[in-house]
Amino acid sequence: MTIGILLSSSPGYSETFLTSKILGLQKQGHTVVVFCQEVLPNFSLCKTVALPNSSTRSGYLPFKIVYTYLSLLFYLKPVYRFYQLERKAKVPLKTILKKLYFNAAFLKSKLDWLHFGFGTLAIGREHIAKAIGSKMAVSFRGFDIGVYPIKHPNCYDKLWKTVDVIHVISNDIKALLYKNNFKDEATVIKITPAIDVDFFNATEKVLLKEAPKQLITIARLHWKKGLDYTLEALALLKNEGVKFQYTIIGDGAELEHLKFTVYQLGLKDYVTFTGKLDKKEIKQRLQASSIYIQYSVQEGFCNAVLEAQAMQLLCVVSNAEGLPENVKHGETGWVVPMRQPKRLAKQIQDILQVPLETNYTVVTKAQERVKNEFDIKKQELDFLNFYNEN
């Protein structure tokens, strides 16, 4: 099969869930084409097709538009089918002409599947797959169904009528579909994120007894990661005399804000920002740490939590979306209600006070569960069945 995947940019630094999927499909002999507006320079896993950017301002733009329309003359059948579907949906002619320009790459492609990597990318493109005679799939991963519809009510109503198969990464994400008017018009399949358990594998992990305890989070520095609340909780621990060092791996727009928060809370000597690190460096940092914190206010699932469990860290997470499915409270880690830094501080303090044998039982169960349920090889097979059986 030829499978087209639409993304805002080609898979980058932290998007292992996409790169592993592409590699898995290629291993089985399928062709994968990534459509995106931004092609990152280091991406070479498969063919990429750059889409026009709506914000482009160039003296060459009129020529590009004319050239695009002329090129579509060789693909009149899908173009006409697309036009008919849009007109039936009462889309104005001017809007249809814009859509033809921005989606010409799809109309000129022969695909068995057109898969939108995030739900928001399918908005306004609901009729593309049918126009080119391919099946249509959409993935929902968190923000696209948990946050975006709050600002844009009913944004997926057209999509529910055209999509063939929906991929979700957790049961909570699936429940959010129904809260946003989904009525079982399509098949919904859950395929959770997964990791390379052969690489992230602490065979001789020792829970560190000595102070200061090493705490760690791996996250894009974004408001939804709840790092403000994490820092507030750690400030409470500091005031109680708990000795710790907290490392935040990642980069993002909130860096300056978070550094100022660290300063205001008196945590300058307790918190380190490393920026982005590569896979090997991340493994080394996890190996040297004992507690992993992911206190997000919105989180589809989180690969980093899986990696931390595989490396035998004690994991404390919030109850945002897929995290309670990622970590089983009291069995493979602990789940704390979001936005409650006092409860987070209390949970961390309780963990530090229990016998070492109890914590060892928790991390052993967590590691075993990740190996059995979240292995990247299993995910590759699940995606292969996703396309073959639907």
Do 267 and 122 fall into the same domain?
no
For residue 209, name the pLDDT band (cuts at 50, 70, 90).
low
Do 77 and 178 fall into the same domain?
yes
Do 270 and 346 fall into the same domain?
yes
Q: What is the model's pLDDT at position 349?
A: 94
Do 167 and 93 fall into the same domain?
yes
Report, in angstroms and rounded to the nearest whole number, the Rg of the chain calculated over CA atoms: 23
**pLDDT tens digits, residue range 347-382?**
999 998 888 778 889 999 999 999 999 998 888 889
Do 119 and 139 fall into the same domain?
yes
**pLDDT tens digits, residue range 139-156?**
999 999 999 999 999 999
Specify if 184 maps to a domain. yes
Say if residue 329's pLDDT is above 90. yes
Q: Across-strand partners of 316?
A: 293, 334
Specify if 199 maps to a domain. no
106: exposed, middle or buried (C-beta count within 10 Å: 0-12, 13-18, 19+)? buried
Specify if 33 maps to a domain. yes
Do 227 and 363 fall into the same domain?
yes
**pLDDT tens digits, residue range 43-82?**
888 999 999 876 556 667 788 889 999 999 999 999 999 9
Q: What is the model's pLDDT at position 78?
A: 97
385/42 Cα distance (integer angstroms): 29
Do 6 and 131 fall into the same domain?
yes
Q: What DSSP character marks residue 212?
A: S
**pLDDT tens digits, residue range 285-328?**
999 999 999 999 999 899 999 999 999 999 999 999 899 999 99
Do 49 and 176 fall into the same domain?
yes
**Residue 54 domain boundaries:** 2-194+376-388
Grouping H, G, I as helix, E, B as strand and the rest as coil, residue 224 is helix
Specify if 92 maps to a domain. yes
Do 308 and 168 fall into the same domain?
no
203/287 Cα distance (integer angstroms): 10
Say if CB 276 and CB 254 are below 8 A apart: no
CATH code at position 229 = 3.40.50.2000
Do 174 and 269 fall into the same domain?
no
Q: What is the model's pLDDT at position 207?
A: 62
How are beta strands 334-336 and 314-318 bridged, if at all? Answer: parallel
Specify if 205 maps to a domain. no
Q: What is the model's pLDDT at position 55?
A: 58
Specify if 258 maps to a domain. yes
Specify if 36 maps to a domain. yes
Specify the residue for token string 């980093």. Answer: 304
Say if CB 268 and CB 262 are below 8 A apart: yes
**pLDDT tens digits, residue range 14-49?**
566 778 788 889 988 999 999 998 888 888 889 999
Specify if 301 maps to a domain. yes
Q: What is the model's pLDDT at position 269?
A: 95
Backbone angles phi, psi at 388, to 5 degrees: -75, -30
More confident residue, 184 or 145: 145
Structural domain count, the chain: 2
123/167 Cα distance (integer angstroms): 16
222/321 Cα distance (integer angstroms): 16
Do 107 and 236 fall into the same domain?
no
46/48 Cα distance (integer angstroms): 6
More confident residue, 338 or 186: 338
Q: What is the model's pLDDT at position 24?
A: 85
Q: What is the model's pLDDT at position 212?
A: 75
- Mean predicted lDDT score pLDDT of the chain: 92
Q: Percent of the chain having pLDDT more than 70?
A: 95
**pLDDT tens digits, residue range 78-107?**
999 999 999 999 999 999 999 999 999 999
Count of Cβ atoms closer than 10 Å to residue 110 Cβ: 10
Do 165 and 295 fall into the same domain?
no
